[in-house]
Structure 1
């Protein structure tokens, strides 16, 4: 699978995003290989820095990765009043781990990534993200997240699923049975956050994912962030909570001052951004919550 032609990488996925593509000018191909699970490319681009590509789909670029990593991590953690123990499923580039360990309440972070080659290559080519693997709070397991959660019930306050899109090895992470598995691995009042796709591209699929989450969680909400290198320029997160005492769409349970935000080194997330992330265009809000 080679999406590079005449110096440009083009992300063409007709099954997921028919009729469109996003292209980046490539300065240099840093690495290419086929791992046990997926095609891996790492390229240096003209304007977006280093880019990780899995099965022809952009996973992150060094220019805009913080908006995704910070929001998928801090949205659920700040919805929880005391996120002591966190599980990350996926996230082989290390970006989510880098963010989760910053939260002052977090004591333990466990991560399960199925493809060790993504981890190794991220350490080599994306050190500003993979630094998350070096933190003493983190324990990394190379393996299957499904099997891991089956063996760790009622253990976690927050579970974050940092997956690629619903094709290939990540397809099962968008199904209703996966939310049941996460629920069983959570403590009382636990919260989950999963990559949920863009409402510009497939509203019905997102609603289906939310409905699957609703089968097992008392509250379900959809939040968005801006990521220019992703299709349509934004992406959302499906967030589920077992806690019925506060709405996910209200003020966060944990608020940080700007001084605290700066001390943690956050570039995108803030308490104001947290609240804004749950504000959707009216027609999307009606589709997700009223229809």
Structure 2
């Protein structure tokens, strides 16, 4: 079982670093606006969302490094709290992270008849782990395996996103620092639920959005297993790419659905998720298990049984387009 140093040791390492002077900080996402006399972070991508950007006013830069795998920036914004940025793209903010973390976790868990063994690919901020622990505590989930290639993301999250990463050393978590593809190619284990919480499809992460990856996921699932992954796109961005991705997924899984969550820190305010299973009889759009309103309020801030169902409902134009025959795989 792989594990990190205790949180106190991780935190003390970063506490020794001197404060970053933002006026001397050089990063392509940070710029100074003389009209507002403030520094701003701008998320831009000519490929993923051309012609638009998302901006946050920066209070201060908390940490910056280039790990073996990616550029990692942690900043404190004036309105969204602490923000984790990988390769110039926002991964999560303290203000709205729960929307994504809850939907990507609880949709497959609540759709599965008996989700005992769960695998998480990526997810270094540990937000998915926090949500899975809720199902460990009610004795539904028995074991969690998380495979994250970059342990620096986990270490920084324990320091700067402590409400997300508070269970990084949970006794039911088997934390493996390794490439997710390597793990899936070599493992003989079978899982009931696999949650792919990867970065956007740029650089090494691009492999997570190909047919071969879907085949690896299928091989690691039990007969009634469910996989969920962020699609990178939503209906307002590159819907043509989204249709192509759905088609790739359907090449491997006979039962595929698309849902979306709403959160302002993702470009255009939405993020799509693909949910898939080889069990054609399973209705992924309706939870098999539900909690009463009181317990939902105790466990969740975003998810509930009605959000589960409504997240699969799309506007007419988007639904019609996604159901058309798109480009070949």
TM class by smaller structure:
over 0.9
Q: Return structure 1 stretches of 4+ with deviation > 6 angstroms.
A: none
Alignment-derived partner of residue 91 in structure 1: 123
Aligned residue for 1:42, secondary structure, equals: strand
Report how far residue 136 of structure 1 moved.
1.9
Q: Take 1:132 and 1:241, find their aligned partners in 2: how far apart are those partners? A: 28
Aligned residue for 1:131, secondary structure, equals: coil
Q: Take 1:3 and 1:220, find their aligned partners in 2: how far apart are those partners? A: 36
Aligned residue for 2:168, secondary structure, equals: helix
**Pairing 1:130–2:162 present:** no
Q: Take 1:101 and 1:174, find their aligned partners in 2: how far apart are those partners? A: 27
**Pairing 1:4–2:30 present:** yes
Report how far residue 276 of structure 1 moved.
0.4
Report how far residue 242 of structure 1 moved.
1.4
Alignment-derived partner of residue 237 in structure 1: 273
Q: Take 1:33 and 1:145, find their aligned partners in 2: how far apart are those partners? A: 22
Mean alpha-carbon deviation: is it higher for 170-179 or for 132-141? Answer: 132-141
Mean alpha-carbon deviation: is it higher for 170-179 or for 251-260? Answer: 251-260
Mean alpha-carbon deviation: is it higher for 133-142 or for 38-47? Answer: 133-142
Asked if 2 retains the 8 angstrom alpha-carbon contact of 1:154 and 1:187, the reply is no
Q: Take 2:179 and 2:44, find their aligned partners in 1: how far apart are those partners? A: 28
Alignment-derived partner of residue 170 in structure 1: 205
Mean alpha-carbon deviation: is it higher for 31-40 or for 100-109? Answer: 100-109
TM-score by length of structure 2 reads: 0.86
Asked if 2 retains the 8 angstrom alpha-carbon contact of 1:153 and 1:184, the reply is no
Report how far residue 168 of structure 1 moved.
2.1
Corresponding pairs, count: 289
Report how far residue 225 of structure 1 moved.
0.5
**Pairing 1:223–2:249 present:** no
> Structure 2: where are the runs of 5+ without partners?
1-26, 33-38
> Structure 1: where are the runs of 5+ without partners?
none
The C-alpha deviation readout for 1:49-98, integer Å capped at 9, x for no partner, is 00000000000000000000000111111111111100000000010111
Rg larger in structure: 2
Q: Take 2:47 and 2:217, find their aligned partners in 1: how far apart are those partners? A: 27
Alignment-derived partner of residue 32 in structure 1: 64
Asked if 2 retains the 8 angstrom alpha-carbon contact of 1:223 and 1:279, the reply is yes
Match of 1:213 among 249, 253, 266: 249
**Pairing 1:152–2:184 present:** no
Report how far residue 290 of structure 1 moved.
4.5
The C-alpha deviation readout for 1:22-63, integer Å capped at 9, x for no partner, is 100000100001000000000000000000000000000000
Alignment-derived partner of residue 272 in structure 1: 306
Aligned residue for 2:252, secondary structure, equals: coil
The C-alpha deviation readout for 1:101-158, integer Å capped at 9, x for no partner, is 2123111000000001101111111110011313222111000111111222451000
Aligned residue for 1:48, secondary structure, equals: coil
Q: CA RMSD of the aligned region, Å?
A: 1.2
**Pairing 1:255–2:290 present:** yes
Alignment-derived partner of residue 323 in structure 2: 289
